[in-house]
Structure 1
């Protein structure tokens, strides 16, 4: 099954209580994510990076509140739903407005004032972006989005350096999250492939969230770009749909709140986060704080099928210091 995006008024009444798609909330939960990162940083081997990430997320919260999506851009979201054959906010087709550049400028200005942003690598990345003109920023953004869709760039020189890419992504993700939160759409399950990619923007997930409470046991993948969540049945590989070669790994015991689901058919894995085991889980923050599990999976020769927006994979043909 795959997810088909439809106008909210056309949602099928036969879906029952399992929503095929959950749009991100209009008010971003960045404050909650920042708090969780600060909590996880205490006594952690990656304390400095987790605290740096918390500052990035806190900046996203400030800018999201100061610069909501303009009304004129909200209005054109309706037109995006008139092309049901493709993801309505697909990053290869969506025409970015100047709003994302305004978000980027505000993020850079806010980050530049933070004490943990004063390292050489961060300052160099901030300076590169602040000095770049609109054409350069747009070229970097298009190349970055394409690379994270696993598309080979026409010119590898357009790829941004690692530090620049990480800061760019913080603005792009915020922009797409604002778009997704305002999209007047719903989702319905249909036959088809590509369910491992976000039905709104076409990007891979960060991980899967196994809900608790009234939705106990339901699994949703969370997009690494727009942060919408879409339903995928459990015991199915989130990358290739296999049901025959799945294994589950954890660093603690079988009741651990974070596990890696691996597939022997496609040799990939994606982490799953179980809300019933830990009600304080925040998928992006807890994923970043559990990279030891990723290291164990890589030692087994398995490739991660998801991306954490706060630690992007290295891009081909880039040479620079990583952040922070």
Structure 2
């Protein structure tokens, strides 16, 4: 099944209806994510990085509270959606959406928030902060174009002078871009409608890869949603199906503990990829981005089996150069 974005008026109601798409809610995820990162850091081999990531996420929380999406841009979303009716999905496709100057406001405020934080005093981060502070809007936009294209798996934009930033600069840019796209997606006056076909490998809102999948508990127990690595929208994909190639016959599940572990890697023998799954019924405290970052030991085991990760963690971007 594929997912088509439709205006809210076309939404299919019903108590038993499984939403094909869950857009980001008004409740910001950053403070709980930072708290989870700090809890996971206790005694962890990656404690320093987890604490650094918690500082970055705290800064995202502060910026999101101080600089919400402007009302003019919220109004433009409805008009854009109407103009796109009948067009391919992904109304906020990161290669087609005309970024406003608001994302640069978010970036500037993020840099201000990060500069004095104790976890940001290391030489590589200080250099990245200095590089971004010295860059003009044109350079930041060129870096953003290149970074978004690379993480979509597309060729770099031609004839724009776009080049990938170094890893530290790219990580900070992504924090601002993710803030911006989450704000956009959270205000999108739409829902998702399931249609025949597959094509659920990328986010139906912005066309980026998922971070991982979340298997819900409670009233929605057993439903699996993939969470976008850019806008943090979640879309439904049935279980026991590869999230990269849709195969159903060659799936294996791996974990570092026993078979009831709350974090597993779903590996596909057909396309030789894997994506981690987080089971809320096994651990209701799981926070997908934080726990994914803290479980990189599982990724190392999967890579040792020559499997390729199909997900992207927004706090630990893959090497792109």
TM bin, normalised by shorter chain, reads over 0.9
1:176-191 to 2 correspondence within 5 Å? 176-191=181-196
Contact 2:274 2:309 (C-alpha < 8 Å) held by counterparts? yes
Give the secondary-structure state (helix, strand or coil) at the position aligned to 1:222.
Answer: strand
Contact 2:90 2:205 (C-alpha < 8 Å) held by counterparts? yes
Q: How far apart are residue 14 of structure 1 and its match?
A: 6.5
Contact 1:249 1:260 (C-alpha < 8 Å) held by counterparts? yes
The count of corresponding residues between Structure 1 and Structure 2 is: 316
Q: 2:236 aligns with which of 231, 237, 242?
A: 231
1:132 matched to 2:131: no
Contact 1:149 1:203 (C-alpha < 8 Å) held by counterparts? yes
Q: How far apart are residue 207 of structure 1 and its match?
A: 0.1
In structure 1, the residue matched to 2:27 is 27
Query: What is the CA–CA distance in structure 1 between the aligned matches of 2:36 and 2:318, rounded to whole Å?
Result: 22
In structure 2, the residue matched to 1:48 is 48
Query: What is the CA–CA distance in structure 1 between the aligned matches of 2:134 and 2:264, rounded to whole Å?
Result: 42
Contact 2:182 2:230 (C-alpha < 8 Å) held by counterparts? yes
- For each residue in 1:188-220, what CA deviation from the matched residue of structure 2 results, as whole angstroms up to 9, or x when unmatched? 110123201000000000000000011000000
In structure 2, the residue matched to 1:240 is 245
TM-score normalised per structure 2 = 0.96
In structure 2, the residue matched to 1:112 is 115
- For each residue in 1:41-97, what CA deviation from the matched residue of structure 2 results, as whole angstroms up to 9, or x when unmatched? 000000000000000000000000000000000001112212142310000100000
Give the secondary-structure state (helix, strand or coil) at the position aligned to 2:267.
Answer: strand
Q: 1:168 aligns with which of 165, 173, 179?
A: 173
Q: Which runs of 4+ in 1 moved over 2 A?
A: 12-17, 154-157
In structure 1, the residue matched to 2:308 is 303
Q: How far apart are residue 312 of structure 1 and its match?
A: 0.2
Contact 1:219 1:231 (C-alpha < 8 Å) held by counterparts? yes
Alpha-carbon RMSD across the aligned residues, in angstroms, is 1.2
TM-score normalised per structure 1 = 0.96
**Structure 1: runs of 5+ lacking an equivalent:** 317-324
- For each residue in 1:109-140, what CA deviation from the matched residue of structure 2 results, as whole angstroms up to 9, or x when unmatched? 11001011000000000000000000000000
Contact 2:216 2:224 (C-alpha < 8 Å) held by counterparts? yes
Query: What is the CA–CA distance in structure 2 between the aligned matches of 1:236 and 1:86, rounded to whole Å?
Result: 22
Q: How far apart are residue 151 of structure 1 and its match?
A: 1.2
**Structure 2: runs of 5+ lacking an equivalent:** none
In structure 2, the residue matched to 1:123 is 126
Q: 1:221 aligns with which of 219, 226, 250?
A: 226
- For each residue in 1:239-264, what CA deviation from the matched residue of structure 2 results, as whole angstroms up to 9, or x when unmatched? 01000100000000000000000000
Contact 2:146 2:162 (C-alpha < 8 Å) held by counterparts? no
In structure 2, the residue matched to 1:266 is 271
